[in-house]
Amino acid sequence: MTHRTPPASPSNHRPVKMARMSDGMDLTDATTGMEAIPSYRPDAKARRYDRQLRLWASAGQRSLEAARVLLIGCDATGCQALKNLVLPGIAHFTILSPRSVEAQDVATNFFLHPDTIGRNIAEEAVKLLKELNPAVEGSAVVKDPAQLLQSDPDFFSAYTLIIASNVEPQLEMDLAEILWKASEKVGGPDVPLICIRNSGFIGRIEVQLREHCVSDTHPEQTHTLRVDQPFPELEKAARSLDFDSMDSMEHSHIPWVVILARAVSIWREQHGGQLPNSDDDAERAAFKDMIKSWRHKADEENFDEALRSSYQGFTKSELFEDEAVVTVSENSKNLHILLHALKQYTSQAPHLPPISPTLPDMHSSTTSYVALQNLYRAQFNSDFARFKQIVAETLGRIGLPADAIPADEIESFARNSGGVQVIKGRALKESKEMRGLVAEVYTNVDEQFVDEEKPIHLGLHLALLAAERFHLVTGRWPGSPEADDLAEENRQVEEMALSLLQSVVPGAEGGPETSEAIAEVVRGGFSTLPTTAAFLGGIVAQEAIKLVTNQYMPLDNTVIIDLVKSSMEKYKF
């Protein structure tokens, strides 16, 4: 039933666009342009940021505009990352570097002018980066990071986020350790650290953070539909339908949420109020079989959807416990206060977060979709009113004004409360040891690698780790221009990789993937290709924005990128 016959496309002869008011116009017309901006129109800032506001909303933008970012390692990749943070409008960035611009820097870094060779690199890069957005502050600190780490460790914890781009392995480890320690005590600064390592076409990003709250993960399923504990109106609606007497059209358009809610309701009735146990294969199968038995035909898509989502019927909505959430004060982050309120909210029946006010798209007739939508909307309104009340009480209790958290932030939190997630990170040192994961992966090669790309990425990681060890020993990178004997260096790195691997998996062999990976990494000589820099700079800034805005799931904690194959793999080491 498609109907789509656009007649001869009118856009071919679209009228010429007329000059706008602020453009060069006659004097008479131009007078309108001189009036003050009317109150309903966005100001210049909102217009500059319009396209991103539609992605992370004003709450995200506010966080961004409060962020202070430090870059250590003023190379092409680091500067590209900063560019991507200055454009959307962070508050401030600092580049920390004592060294001078060299010819190689100018060759790869867009933010260094060719005439600047010999001058301080941080100062020169700050100059050009600042031009990208007049609202952003930038400063250069001409000091040695290693010394500063000794003399003034607090310097580092004053930032919202730190990017270390291709810094020496020793410095990277020391910095990571200091930050990790600082975040140990409750309420201590928990500054995320993003480390970049890059050799030719190969790149790796590691993220160290102790704890990170995502207030909105924006998952595919954004919706807390509470199918596992249907609210009374939903349950009633789901139970009142007579599936058998429906005609096939009607039957194939029952929304899956209704099918699932009905299955849950019936199951609980038959099992003393219990949900199917998610660890019990037999129960899970029985639950699905019940849904399958209601089908009229094998190809009803709504039933497929219900079966695909059946895990929602046996996964209980979970909330988390965390010190920063349990005890809030006037110094708490908004998000922690909201989570604290949410915790209180769920301590009352039905012990669940506010329901989602919107439904995902699903296979159904418009009538039943709209009816279902109305049920959810009404429920959200009543949930939200209660939640707002609790937030207000909480704010009052800790001595903050009622508007300390903007209304839209509360609402968007409530709307997405199902998308709230907390990530517990790992110390960089620990993840570089990657014991658990490597052991598992290397011993179960056959089962694990259905997908042939994985071992290459792991090999690359191993190669980079071995090269870092090489640097610790020799003070320079393998394959760098000073190398006399590339084959010999390659061999040394192979040896280090093997001993690394065997320290985790005794007796393991590297395999051809690892040798190939090492050759590629050494060939790259730890130099930066402009495209790799642009690419990594994009990924790093993307992660930084996720961390700063508390939106979207960050890549926790290691990402390995192979631009020879245009592929990328994430591991939690």
Partner 1 sequence: MPRESHTQALLGPEVFKKVRETPILVVGAGGIGCELLKNLVLVGFANIEIIDLDTIDLSNLNRQFLFRKPDIKKSKSLVASASARHFNPDSGIKIHARHGNVKDSANDVEWIKGFGLVMNALDNREARSHVNRLCQAGGVPLIESGTAGYLGQVTPFVKDKTECFDCEPKPVAQKTYPVCTLRATPSEPIHCIVWAKSYLFGKLFGEDDEAGDEQELNQAKGEAENADEIDNLKKEAAAFREVRANIGDDDGPRKMFDKVFKDDINRLLAMDDLWNKEGRVKPTALDYEGIMSGSFPTPPLRAAPAAAASAPSANGSAATEPKSNGAAPAANVNSAQLRDQRELSLKENVELLIDSSRRLSARTISHPDTILSFDKDDEDTLDFVLATSNLRSAAYGIPQKTRFQVKEMAGNIIPAIATTNAIVAGFIVMSAIRLLSGQDEGMRKVYLKTEPVRPIAGYGPNTPNKFCGVCRDVYIPFKADVARVTVGTFVEDVVKGWLEEGLEGKGQVEWTVNEGSRMLADPDMEDLYEKTLEVMDVGRGKMITVSGEIKLGGEEEYKPLRPVHFCVCNPSPNAEAPYELPSTTPSIPLAPVKKVDKAPKADFEMLDNSAAATDGGKAAGKKRAAEDEPEGDAKRRKVQVLADDDDDDFEILDPKK
Binding mask 249-268 for partner 1 (x = CB under 8 A): ----x---------------
| CA 174 to chain CA centroid, nearest Å | 26
- What is the rounded distance in angstroms from the CA atom of residue 163 to the CA atom of residue 173? 13
How far apart, in Å, are the Cα atoms of 260 and each of 256, 294, 332? 6, 11, 39
Stretch that binds partner 1, among 51-59, 159-167, 224-232, 268-276 (CB under 8 A): 51-59
Strand, helix or coil for residue 72: strand
Footprint of partner 1 on 181-210 (CB under 8 A): 200-201
Whichever of 49 and 442 has its CB closer to partner 1, that residue is 49
Say whether residue 407 binds partner 1 (CB under 8 A).
yes
Binding mask 90-129 for partner 1 (x = CB under 8 A): -------------xx-xxx-x--xx--x------------
Q: Which of 51, 240, 399, 506 binds partner 1 (CB under 8 A)?
A: 51
Whichever of 42 and 187 has its CB closer to partner 1, that residue is 42
Q: How far is the CB of 269 from partner 1 (least distance, A)?
A: 30
Question: Contact at 8 Å (CB) between 417 and 353?
Answer: yes
Stretch that binds partner 1, among 5-13, 173-181, 287-295, 389-397 (CB under 8 A): 5-13
Stretch that binds partner 1, among 49-57, 341-349, 386-394, 488-496 (CB under 8 A): 49-57
Q: How far is the CB of 268 from partner 1 (least distance, A)?
A: 29
Binding-site size, partner 1 (CB under 8 A): 125
Q: Which of 143, 97, 86 is nearest to 124 (CA)?
A: 97
Q: How far is the CB of 38 from partner 1 (least distance, A)?
A: 8
Say whether residue 297 binds partner 1 (CB under 8 A).
no
Strand, helix or coil for residue 135: coil
- Going across the sheet that includes 161-165, the strands are 137-141, 92-96, 68-72, 161-165, 193-199, 202-208, 558-562, 567-571
Kindly state the helix (H) or strand (E) to which residue 472 belongs, with its residue range: helix 454-474
Q: Which of 346, 369, 449, 474 binds partner 1 (CB under 8 A)?
A: 369
Whichever of 110 and 155 has its CB closer to partner 1, that residue is 110
Whichever of 233 and 280 has its CB closer to partner 1, that residue is 233
- In one letter, which amino acid is 491? R
Buried b (16+ CB within 10 A) or exposed e, 351-360: ebbbbbbebe
- What is the rounded distance in angstroms from the CA atom of residue 34 to the CA atom of residue 210? 52
- What is the rounded distance in angstroms from the CA atom of residue 100 to the CA atom of residue 129? 17
| CB-neighbour burial class of residue 17 (10 A; exposed 0-12, middle 13-18, buried 19+) | exposed
Question: Contact at 8 Å (CB) between 518 and 466?
Answer: yes
Whichever of 252 and 332 has its CB closer to partner 1, that residue is 252
Stretch that binds partner 1, among 3-11, 320-328, 381-389, 428-436 (CB under 8 A): 3-11
- What is the rounded distance in angstroms from the CA atom of residue 135 to the CA atom of residue 448? 49
Beta strands in 408-483 (DSSP E): 421-424
Question: Contact at 8 Å (CB) between 394 and 410?
Answer: no
Footprint of partner 1 on 127-186 (CB under 8 A): 131-134
- What is the rounded distance in angstroms from the CA atom of residue 438 to the CA atom of residue 433? 9
Stretch that binds partner 1, among 53-61, 139-147, 151-159, 316-324 (CB under 8 A): 53-61
Say whether residue 477 binds partner 1 (CB under 8 A).
no
Q: Which of 278, 344, 365, 443 binds partner 1 (CB under 8 A)?
A: 365
Question: Contact at 8 Å (CB) between 419 and 219?
Answer: yes
Footprint of partner 1 on 517-546 (CB under 8 A): 523-525, 527-532, 534-539, 541-542, 545
Q: How far is the CB of 4 from partner 1 (least distance, A)?
A: 6
Stretch that binds partner 1, among 79-87, 158-166, 236-244, 514-522 (CB under 8 A): 79-87
Q: How far is the CB of 287 from partner 1 (least distance, A)?
A: 26
Whichever of 16 and 349 has its CB closer to partner 1, that residue is 16
Cα angle: 563, vertex 565, 566; to 5 degrees: 55
Stretch that binds partner 1, among 232-240, 342-350, 484-492, 560-568 (CB under 8 A): 560-568
